[in-house]
């Protein structure tokens, strides 16, 4: 069964460092998303991506964040200068045009120290 | 804007009993989708059940069923014959067609042996 794959599963980084979280969506899916879940809190929308551009972003998604689909298969989330409050679980999701159900990856746990 | 409200932060149920998790939502759209996701300790997001708003029939998936009250904007999840493996965080979510998913704050479900 096709699935969304995220790497790494856990990343520890120093405050101020750049991190790149990687996602491989299900092939032939066209819509891509990043969500964030701070421990013990709700799952929050960060950004949606379609047709090689951002279609919507939340207030959380400030200039420190960027997304890219560099090679037609990977979908990355970059945080330029991490802060302690960026520590969270980050989920990637994708869906195709016909079926609205979004499939989630297993998440990347980011710890900023 | 869409909102999703889960008013029960935690619930407990005896193994083999039935439990109902509540969810209300608000949307101005007529065409939308509703979901229940399960998040076990691994923090992976697992789709439990989905409901399309235009369908009057309540969705069911084995021991999981929903009570969808469109006029009241209510979407509760019933788990029958609760099992220890059902212990998890449960998130109610809503999505307007071709839009992002919005999550509630979640309900932590404990299963008592």
* Chain B residues touching residue A48 (CB < 8 angstroms): 100
Of A48, A91, A104, the CB nearest to B100: A48
Question: What would the pLDDT profile of B30-87 be if each residue is shown by its tens digit?
Answer: 888 999 999 998 888 899 999 999 898 999 999 999 999 999 999 999 999 999 999 9
* Domains of chain B with CATH codes: 3-112 (2.60.40.10)
Going from N- to C-terminal start, the domains of chain A cover 5-112
State residue A101's pLDDT score.
Answer: 76
Band the pLDDT of B112: cuts 50, 70, 90. Answer: very high
Give the span between the Cα atoms of A88 and A75, in whole angstroms: 18
> DSSP 3-state assignment of B84?
helix
Query: Which regions of chain A does DSSP assign to beta strands (E)?
Result: 5-7, 10-13, 19-24, 31-37, 43-50, 53-57, 65-68, 75-79, 88-95, 103-104, 108-112
Give the CA distances from residue B99 to residues A6, A106, B40, in Å, rounded to whole numbers and listed in that order: 22, 21, 26
Q: Does A60 touch chain B (CB under 8 A)?
A: no
Length of chain A: 113
CA distances from B104 to A50, B7, B45, B63, B96 (A): 25, 9, 13, 22, 15
Q: Would you say domain A5-112 falls under CATH 3.40.50.300?
A: no
Asked if B44 and A104 come within 8 Å (Cβ–Cβ), the reply is yes
pLDDT for A98:
57
Q: Is the dihedral of CA B3, B32, B75, A91 positive or negative?
A: negative
Tell me: pLDDT of A99 over 60: no
Asked if A109's CB is within 8 angstroms of B44's CB, the reply is: no
């Amino acid at each position: 069964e096709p699935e969304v794959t995220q790497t790494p599963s856990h990343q520890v980084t120093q405050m101020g460092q750049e991190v790149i979280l990687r996602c491989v969506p299900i092939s032939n899916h066209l819509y891509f998303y990043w969500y964030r879940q701070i421990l013990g809190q709700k799952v929050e929308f960060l950004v949606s991506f379609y047709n090689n551009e951002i279609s919507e972003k939340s207030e959380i998604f400030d200039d420190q964040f960027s997304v890219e689909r560099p090679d037609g298969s990977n979908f990355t989330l970059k945080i330029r200068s991490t802060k302690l409050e960026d520590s969270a679980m980050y989920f990637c999701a994708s869906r195709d045009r016909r079926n609205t159900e979004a499939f989630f990856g297993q998440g990347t746990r980011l710890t900023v120290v | 804007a869409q909102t999703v409200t889960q008013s029960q932060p935690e619930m407990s149920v005896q193994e083999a009993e039935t439990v109902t998790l509540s969810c209300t939502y608000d949307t101005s759209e007529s065409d939308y989708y509703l979901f229940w996701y399960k998040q076990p300790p691994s923090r992976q997001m697992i789709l439990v059940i989905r409901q399309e708003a235009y369908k009057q029939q309540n969705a069911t998936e084995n021991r999981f069923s929903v009570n969808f009250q469109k006029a009241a904007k209510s979407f509760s999840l019933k788990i029958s014959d609760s099992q220890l493996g059902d212990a998890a965080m449960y998130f109610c979510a809503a999505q307007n067609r071709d839009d992002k998913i919005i999550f509630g704050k979640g309900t932590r479900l404990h299963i008592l042996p």
